[in-house]
Structure 1
C-alpha cells in the first residue's frame, strides 16, 4: 500500500516509524553478528533466514507507519483549506446546476480547442458538489487521462481553486505533497 521508492528515505517523520527503523538497524546488527559467529560455530540456517526476514518486516512496517502518517497529514491540510475556503466571508453566488445545453456548449468548446491544438483529451465537468456530470474522451486520448481528468475536476471543486494554482503546494516538501494519492 506504500508507493514505490524513487529516492533515499529519511526516517523520522513520526516517532513510531523512527522506532521501527531503529529496531531494523538492531536486527541488521544482530544479523551481521550471526554471520560473524557462523564462521566459528554452526548456526542454524533457519535462524539466519528469520533474522533477515525480521529486518525486512520492520522496514516494511516503518514505511507503512510513515505513509499512513503522511496521508493523514495531507487529509488534515486539505480539510483545513477546504473549511477556510467555505467559511471565508466572501459573497457567494448561489450554486446553480448547468443545463444540458450549457454542458454541451462547454464540452464542444473544449473539444474544438483540443482539436486546434491537435491534442486529444478527456473532458470532465463536475458540479459545485464535485459530482461528475460530463466525461468525454476524444479518440486517441491517453488512457490515463480517463482516470485523471475526473479526479482533477473534483480536486478543483474540493480545493476551491484551479488545479494549476496548486502546483507549488503539491511539490515534494510542500504542504499538500502527495495529494494525488
Structure 2
C-alpha cells in the first residue's frame, strides 16, 4: 500500500517543492526530526496491529472485541472529562450499560475459571497430567485418529470418540 501511495504521489504531488521546503533544508537535525515525525505514526500503527493479532491469537475474538469496546468507552469518558464534550442522558446510559456488560463478562470468565475442576495455566489453557500427554500428544497429525474413527463401527468406539470430541471442543482455543 505504501509503494502504491508513493508512486501515485510522485505523479500527483510536487516532490521538488516538498524537498525544498524548510522541513528538509534547515539543517540535518530538522530533517531527521521531520523524517521521524513521518515514520512514527506508521510504526505505532504497525505495533498496534501486531499487538491486536497477538491478543486475538492468545485470548480469542470475544475478549479482543470487548477490549475494543472498552477503548471506545475510555475515549468517550476522556473526551467528556478533559475536553468538556457534552454527554446526553442517552450517552451516559449507554456508557453505563457498556461498563456493566464488560464487568459482568469479566466476572463470568473469572467464576468459570475458579469453578473449573481441570487445572488451568496462566492463559486459561488446561494443564494435562504427564500420562495424558503421553497418551494424547498435542501435534497436528490426526491421520490415525481419523482412520480409526472412519473404520470403526462399534457403538463403544463411537461413544468414546464422541466423549473425546466433546472434550476437545470444550478446550479448543480456535
TM over 0.5: no
Give the TM-score of the pair, scaled to structure 2. Answer: 0.25
Higher relative contact order (CA 8 A, sep 6+): 1
Structure richer in helix, relative to its length: 2
Structure richer in strand, relative to its length: 1
Structure whose CA Rg is larger: 2
